[in-house]
Structure 1
Amino acid sequence: MTQPSRRYVFATIAVGALARPGGAFSAPEPRLTVWRTAGCGCCLAWVAHMERAGYRARVIDTEDLAAVRTRYRVPDDVAACHTALIDGYVLEGHVPAEDVRSLLLQRPPAIGLAVPGMPRGAAGMEQPDGSREGYFTLLLLDGGARRTFSRH
């Protein structure tokens, strides 16, 4: 029996390193930086939701979340309880992981995504009784414009 070539062995190792549970292949998710006000439990619930989806999060407690939003051009009327940054995009509020994944695949020319307020049943806002309300994820565009990215 002949030995496999070095090229074959390297390719096998490289492909195996990128394999995800369930058989899908992809590169690791980009790192997520999350700013929140200390003591906000739903922010940590959202971080846990994102980590279950494969994102690695760094959480920073801040007393001036408004300054973070200003820095990343988040309009005041979509402000929520935490602001995050991932791969050049801002995420405001309880944005579902599947919307983040779609954003990163589509790469639209935008500031990022926002779920205004704290909708019952949104990612990190799950209710013990399973109740939820409908909400929108908005795509934030330059100049304060926005459009619906997804409906939940």
Structure 2
Amino acid sequence: MTGTSNVQPSDVPGQQLDVGTLPNEALEAIYKQVVVELDTLSKTLPLIQGAINERIAAIEAIKKFQSIKPDDEVLVPLTLSSYVKGNVPDTSKVMVILGGGYTAEMSVPDAIEFENSRLQTRRAELSKVKNAMAIHNQTRAQIEDEVERRRVSSTAQKQ
């Protein structure tokens, strides 16, 4: 993001930008910033959605794991295209990736709860990004309308 302020429109609920009082240079600068921020926000949407899909897949996989009986034969991935046969001696616990290269062994219910918590966090992030995009789109539209109003007014005054 550009600019020196870390305050975003979504950080100040209810605050409206009166574009009608701003000089043309300020309108142009704000417009450019809003467009850049919209681009950045739109690029984060698929990343967050991907993380949501990963959490859903993890929860489903853990739930399916519960149906495996001890000593059932399973395929263990070595690479994306290589597997080895193995046995699961204990189906009551799973290893969960915590992030930052760390994993933890958890009971199946705890692992599902952990993944559900992460899922809710990602969904909240997605909601915040969508709200920020809506505010930015509104600001962009206001600026575009004001620029058009000024153009029409300037043209009318010249005639």
Give your verdict on TM over 0.5.
no
TM-score by length of structure 2 reads 0.22
What TM-score does the superposition give when structure 1 sets the normalisation length? 0.23
Q: Comparing both structures, which one devotes a greater share of its residues to helix? A: 2
Q: Specify which structure has the higher proportion of strand.
A: 1
Which of the pair has more CA radius of gyration? 2
